[in-house]
Amino acid sequence: MNSFDRVLDALKFKEVDRVPVIPQLTYASALWINKTIRECINDPEKQYKALVFAYKECGYDAIYAGWEGSFNLLANGMGAELKYQDENPPSVQEIPVSNLEKLDEFTNKNIKGGDINFVNFKGIDTNLKLIKKLKDNLNDVPIMSYVPGPFTYVGVINGLTNLMISIIRRPELIKNAMELIYDFVLRFSILKVEAGADFITIADPSSSSSIISPKNFQELGYPFLKRMISDLRAENKNLKVGIHICGNTKPIQNLIESLNPDYFEVDSLVPLDESRKIMGKTCLIGNIPPSDLNQKTKSEIRKLSDQCLNILDDNGFILSSGCEIVYGTPIENIKEMVISSLNHKI
């Protein structure tokens, strides 16, 4: 059974030869080819080398084709300046939209002749080249890629504090903003699919119950996630679409399952067994804390991996980190996740 079949069967709760392993790993792989994160920015060849080295060295089952976070990549494509560092991923240097009432000034710069035309295509183009090269050279491995959830993306370009204030004072302004940026998010996502991404993970961390109430999620983030999933599946019937929301998602997991995603990435804050009780029909991916992968010993990571595999001993599970793996994480700890899966009896 190759990795592609193994992952697809896990999504469908079918029997697999072993539990798939898919670490949420992108820029952390730079260290393992003796590069900094900054050295690989806008260089698809270096990114490809790092990601493929990590995949082959560790033997896991899918590759996340990305580098800078999808929120920041899209914001940069639409004109925001990024701050670059050696050991941390790029971030938006200064919020490009201080007033959501003037959001159209930001979006209009990215329209030419009535069509979407990103003003700074360099970073997006790098990502698309990376996806294509991975897909062209690794046909039996799922190529995955993150895209931003509209709710979180509004917070990236307007600032998280401003987003939280608007939830209380002017929620309709947020809804209008999401409508205005939706087509740009969708176009960005479709470009990734056209480049060869097999799985698209919609990352919407600001929808977490650690940040907003379940009611706010149901009224703001949820409708746009539902729309995105539908629109992406209409674009490509073979595409798999999942959801990633950081932090505590237990209060909204029933809503997430009602979106009918192909998978859900569970943060390490939520026990897997509790998630399974709520999300009985969705393949769960998770959830070793990235801080543990970064700091703990190989034997400790083996124990944590074994615990995850024993807790969720069913066919609808993929072993992973609870969130993005950080730069500086020992590659040996990623290998331990795969070794644990190989030794686990389903």
Residue 146 Rama label (left phi>0; alpha psi -120 to 50; beta): beta
Q: How many CA atoms lie within 13 A of 334 on its CB side?
A: 26
Write out the residue range of the structural domain in which residue 120 sits.
22-56+68-276
Note the pLDDT of residue 188. 98
DSSP secondary structure letters along 70-84: HHHHHHHHTT--EE-
Contacts of 136 (CB under 8 A, 6+ apart): 196
Contacts of 267 (CB under 8 A, 6+ apart): 208, 245, 246, 247, 248, 249, 286, 287, 322, 323
Q: Is residue 98 part of a domain?
A: yes
Classify the C-alpha dihedral 338-208-161-171 as positive or negative: positive
- Domains in the chain, number: 1
Classify the C-alpha dihedral 71-72-76-79 as positive or negative: positive
Q: How confident is the model at residue 312 (pLDDT cuts 50, 70, 90)?
A: confident
Q: Is residue 296 part of a domain?
A: no
Q: Is residue 100 part of a domain?
A: yes
- Do 273 and 266 contact (CB within 8 A), yes or no? no
Q: Is residue 181 part of a domain?
A: yes
Task: Please name every residue paired with 201 in a beta bridge, in sequence order, or none if there are none.
Answer: 146, 242
Note the pLDDT of residue 346. 74
Q: Give burial (CB, 10 Å; 0-12/13-18/19+) of 236.
A: middle
Q: Is the pLDDT of residue 345 over 90?
A: no
Q: Is residue 37 part of a domain?
A: yes
Q: Is residue 340 part of a domain?
A: no
Q: How confident is the model at residue 338 (pLDDT cuts 50, 70, 90)?
A: very high
Q: Mind listing the pLDDT tens digit for each residue in 175-220?
A: 999 999 999 999 999 999 999 999 999 999 999 999 999 999 999 9
CATH of the domain at 42: 3.20.20.210
Q: Is residue 135 part of a domain?
A: yes
Q: Is residue 244 part of a domain?
A: yes
Q: Is the pLDDT of residue 314 over 80?
A: no
Q: How many CB atoms lie within 10 A of CB 281?
A: 9
